Amino acid sequence: MEFCKYCNSKLKKVVLPVDNDWGVDFLMVCMNDECGYYKRGWDWMWNNYQVKSSYRFHYNTFTGYEGPLHVSKPEDYKNQVIINTKEAEAHL
């Protein structure tokens, strides 16, 4: 899976800390702030749990699992995104 099934954005490689709950080195995550799944998540979490948080769509390439990755603010995970050199050059 290379693209978010909700907004069609390219999934980004997000490196996780060693002691993460997922037990893997990285997850593929939709980091699009306009993603409908992520945007609806704020309301859903508030309505169901009265917490200000949301989740981004993620795909675990190790297990094949896909689902929500919890975030408590828009900046979460953004400094853990690995941009491959080809993409980095394309942005220059």
Longest Cα–Cα distance in the chain = 43
Q: Quick one: which of 11, 28, 31, 35 contacts Zn ion (CB under 5 A)?
A: 35
63 Cβ contact partners less than 8 Å away, ≥ 6 residues apart: 24
Count CB neighbours of 35 within 10 A.
19
Pick between residue 4 and residue 14 the one whose CB is nearest to Zn ion.
Answer: 4
Residue 42 engages Zn ion in binding (rule: CB under 5 A): no
- Shortest Cβ distance from residue 19 to Zn ion (Å)? 27
d(Cα 45, Cα 11) in Å, to the nearest integer? 23
- Binding status of residue 7 toward Zn ion by CB under 5 A: yes
Residue selected from 29, 30, 45, 71 as contacting Zn ion according to rule CB under 5 A: 30
SS3 41: helix
- Would you count residue 6 as binding Zn ion (CB under 5 A)? yes
List residues binding Zn ion (CB under 5 A): 4, 6-7, 9, 30, 32, 35
